[in-house]
Structure 1
Amino acid sequence: MSLQDGGAPDPHDDGRPPAGSPAGAGPETPAGSPAGAADGSGTPAAHAASEAGREPAPARRGRPRSEAVEQAIFDAAAGLLDEGVPLADLSVERIARTAGVGKATIYRRWAGKEELFVDLVRSVEPPDPVLPGTSVRDDLVALLESLRQRGLAKRSSAVLHHVFSQMQGYPKLWDAYHHTVIEPRRRIGLDAVRRGMERGEIRADLDVEFVNDLLTGPLLLRTVIRPGATLEPGLAERVVDAVMEGLRPRA
């Protein structure tokens, strides 16, 4: 069990050894759950197997993350941001102390604070879109609507506001976010455009990246360059329909 700063037991610690340490501890058990057998087997099922004269099944490597622990860590980081603490000053130690967990509890889940913040941002953003696949128009509308929803979330979420306002001044965090969030989303758009070209719904003589930029540009303009611009319902449909006028194959 990890210890909090000051030596007190960590109430949220799941007891899993840090990466590279020997395995052997059982899965995370919420507070108040029945304890394991007195012989140290760790779970009631293992105790029952022992009493029946059978060897308990080998411990499964890895263990499920505790959502309650992760939420406590996210809440601590978000609370510190709300208090005006700059990203550069938000150390893992400070987040752990605020969350009431040990640093090892955080490092078991994230390699460092950059990865933690990327997951924090993703936890408060709308999920990536699931494209219907019925037509290129339907796919592009779903994609642009997801960008519109993210723009609205960025305006309404204090976490997103604080993180994005500082992220580009913190290259390591920006690179982590770009690699794990922005690039996968951009590939969704590029794949949708390629499918449209293969189906004959978009001119095949155009560059895929160029077409994707034409479509996503208006939403990015209103969410990044002009953050006060309107993001009204129906905007995604209007952008796609206007751009598609120039994208359809020529007779």
Structure 2
Amino acid sequence: MSGTGTGAAPGGRPAERRGRPRSAAVDTTVVETVLRLLEEGVTVGELSMERIAREAGVGKATVYRRWADKEALLLDVLRSLDDACPELAGASVRDDLVALLEFLRRRVLAKRSSAVMRAVIAHVQTQPKLWREYHDTVVAARRQAFHAVLLRGAATGEIRPGLDAELLTDLFVSPMLSRVMLHEWRELPDGLAEQIVDTVLQGVRPQEGTAARGGPSRGNAPGPA
């Protein structure tokens, strides 16, 4: 948790902490309270620091000592849902892509993660900073994992060289995200990751009789997601 509510002393020096050390248990209680409220259908706009404090059973001052405002708290709520990408075997590009998509499928199957994601998307137009922070701390790392696998696939001949890694990542990830964000009633069944990967790979494999000649051009190398 970042707890961005800490102030600064005159002259720009960090303010010294006074009193008892910050309680991790209180941090967890407040974050879990926000997650529960979002899961129950409370919108981001309906959340207030006062309501969060009341629902968490702590004082409003306790919350403000940890987070300067609701946006700072929501960033820590998003970070609390972040898991590291799975360790990839590296033997097969196809298997590694399936592992990454299956990781995504299992995450969004969790009601809590889906509820928070939808709440943030609904809130993004009025709070772009929140979306940018979520993108920079969560989304970018996952896209870089896809980029690395795709570049390896181009180098080994499993994927045609010269294709745009950014576009390919979108082709693999978008079907899953579409079901979560636009058609939340659609199921995410077992085997969906394999189906998506095999369908896309069918179109990006080298044509029969051609050999791979290295990875994508420098202009197509993945940059910041």
Q: What's the counterpart of residue 242 of structure 1? A: 199
1:163 aligns with 2:112: no
TM-score calculated relative to the size of structure 2: 0.70
Q: What's the counterpart of residue 205 of structure 1? A: 162
CA contact (8 A) 1:121 1:159 kept: no
Alignment counterpart, residue 15 of structure 2, candidates 10, 21, 25: 21
Quote how far apart the aligned CAs of 1:129 are. 3.0
Q: What's the counterpart of residue 220 of structure 2? A: none
Q: Which range moves more in the overlay, 161-170 or 183-192?
A: 161-170
Distance 1:151 1:128 in 2: 14
Quote how far apart the aligned CAs of 1:159 are. 4.7
Q: C-alpha deviations, 1:196-231, integer Å up to 9, x for none?
A: 212222111211112112211221222222222221
Q: Which range moves more in the overlay, 136-145 or 195-204?
A: 195-204
SS of match in other structure, 1:87: coil
Quote how far apart the aligned CAs of 1:66 are. 4.0
TM-score calculated relative to the size of structure 1: 0.64
Quote how far apart the aligned CAs of 1:151 are. 2.6
Equivalent runs, 1:178-189 vs 2, <5 Å:
178-189=135-146
How many residue pairs match? The answer is 198
SS of match in other structure, 1:183: helix
Distance 1:130 1:147 in 2: 14
Q: 1:211 to 1:76 in 2, by over 3 A?
A: closer
Q: 1:226 to 1:186 in 2, by over 3 A?
A: same
Equivalent runs, 1:146-157 vs 2, <5 Å:
146-153=103-110, 155=111
Q: What's the counterpart of residue 218 of structure 1? A: 175
Q: What's the counterpart of residue 151 of structure 2? A: 194
Q: 1:134 to 1:83 in 2, by over 3 A?
A: closer
Quote how far apart the aligned CAs of 1:137 are. 1.1
Q: C-alpha deviations, 1:20-43, integer Å up to 9, x for none?
A: 2225777x4xxxxxxxxxxxxxxx
SS of match in other structure, 1:229: coil
Structure 1, unaligned runs of 5 or more: 1-16, 29-64
CA contact (8 A) 1:125 1:150 kept: no
Structure 2, unaligned runs of 5 or more: 1-5, 9-13, 210-225
| Paired-residue identity, % | 45
Q: What's the counterpart of residue 120 of structure 1? A: 77
Larger Rg: 1
Q: CA RMSD in A?
A: 3.2
CA contact (8 A) 1:144 1:216 kept: yes
Distance 1:245 1:111 in 2: 50
Alignment counterpart, residue 233 of structure 1, candidates 166, 170, 190: 190
